[in-house]
Structure 1
C-alpha cells in the first residue's frame, strides 16, 4: 500500500521533531560530531552541486515536497546519521528515492518493484513486507551502496545508478541540487562536499581559465557555422568555440555542448566564475536537451557563438534567462 513514513518510529529514535509548521526537521543529538564528520571530507567539486543557497540550488524543488516526502528524507538522513555515513551517502539515497518513487513507499511498480527504492523481492531485495517498510528499505539501500566500489568519489547519481541499475541511468542526476539542499535544510549540514559554502569561492579562476578566455575573446567577429571544424579558426559554432578555447589552455573538451556539460566540476550557476561554461536546454532540468553553451566572463557577461548570421560576440546574461541550466561547469577540475 502507499504508506507515509511512520513518524513515531523516527521520534522514538530521538532524531526527528515536528515544528509548528508541520515540517519535519532532522535534529542531530550530537551536532559537534556531525560537524567533525563533515570537516573530515575532502573537497571534490566534481561530485556536483552542494549548497543550501536559494535560487537555482534545489530550494524550489525541495519546497514543493509534501510532508510524506519530507518524512522520507528525514528517515534517510536519520538512518544515515545512526550508521555514521557521510552526507554524500544520504544524497545518493535521496536522489534514488525521488527518482524511483517520488520519495514515497509504494505498494506497486514495474513488475514486482515496491517501496521507496522500487526494490524487487524476486531479485533478492527482501520480502514484499520488508521492502515496503521504509526503515528496512533505507537500511537495505545503504547496505548495497556501501558495496559499490569507490561510490564516495562518483557523482551521486552515478552511485544511485550502481545500486538501482536502471535502464535510464542519467535520470538520477535531475534531483542532485534538491538532494543537496535537503541535506543542508533537514540534515543541518552546510558543507556536504567538504568544499565550504559554494564551490565557486573555493575554486577560483585558474591560469587555464584565463588562457581560454583570452582565446575566446580573440575570436570576436568571426562567423557562426553549425558543425564548424575544430581544426581551424575561421568560424565557430557554440561548442567548437569552447573546445578550441580550452584546447589552447591545455584542457581537452568533448565536441558537443551536451557532452561538455559532463566535462568538469558542476556548481550552481549563480556562483559561476570567469571561464566557467554556461548551458541552455529546452528543458532546464534535463541535460539531454542542452542545445547551447557559452563562456562566462564575469560581471554578468558571456562570450558565445550563438547562431547563424550572428558572429562571435559578448553579451549580457541573466541568471533568470529562459532555458539557462541551473549548473555551470568548470573545465579542467
Structure 2
C-alpha cells in the first residue's frame, strides 16, 4: 500500500472518532458503525470495495505476516464469543492498523470509533492481517 493512500484512509477514518458503535450497523450509514461497516465505509470512500462482515473481509487481499504489518493494513481479531470456533469462524473483529502499535476501529470495548493500543488487550486476540490496497481483490 502506498504510504500516501494509507495516510488518506487513516485521516478519513479519524474524522469519525467518537461515532457510536452499534452491532449490526447498516452499510453506508455514518451516524453509527460496527467494526466491519466502519472498515467497509472508510475503504470504500477510497475506491476499495470490501464485503460487509469481518469474516468476509478476511478473505480479501493478501495475507501479511504480523511482523510485516504496515499502516493501512487490516488486523483481524477473535472475540470471547468467537474464540471457540476454528478457522475463519474464529474472526469476530476487524480494525485498521495506524502505526505506533495502534489501531483505528469501533468495538464493544470502546463503544465508539476510537484509537486503541494493541497492548495488552487487542494483542492477545490478534489472529491475522490482510493488505487490501495495491493487491488484486
TM-score interval, smaller chain: 0.7 to 0.9
Contact kept in structure 1, 2:3 and 2:71, CA below 8 Å? no
- Structure 1 equivalent of residue 95 of structure 2: 294
SS of equivalent to 1:253: coil
- Give the CA RMSD over aligned residues: 2.2
Contact kept in structure 2, 1:211 and 1:248, CA below 8 Å? no
Question: Residues 1-333 of structure 1: matches in 2 within 5 Å?
Answer: 204-281=1-78, 282=83, 286-307=87-108, 310-318=111-119, 321-325=123-127, 327-332=128-133, 333=135
Unaligned runs of 5+ in 2: none
Higher share of residues assigned helix: 1
Higher share of residues assigned strand: 2
The number of aligned residues is 129
Contact kept in structure 1, 2:28 and 2:37, CA below 8 Å? no
Rg: which structure is higher?
Answer: 1
Contact kept in structure 2, 1:238 and 1:306, CA below 8 Å? yes
**Quick one: structure 1 residues 276 and 330, their matched pair in 2 at CA, closer, same or farther if it must change by over 3 Å?**
same
Contact kept in structure 1, 2:21 and 2:111, CA below 8 Å? yes
d(CA) in 1 for partners of 2:66, 2:86: 13
Following superposition, the deviation at residue 208 of structure 1 comes to 3.2
If the length of structure 2 is used for normalisation, what is the TM-score?
0.84
Following superposition, the deviation at residue 321 of structure 1 comes to 2.2
| Higher RCO (CA 8 Å, separation ≥ 6 residues) | 2
Following superposition, the deviation at residue 225 of structure 1 comes to 0.7
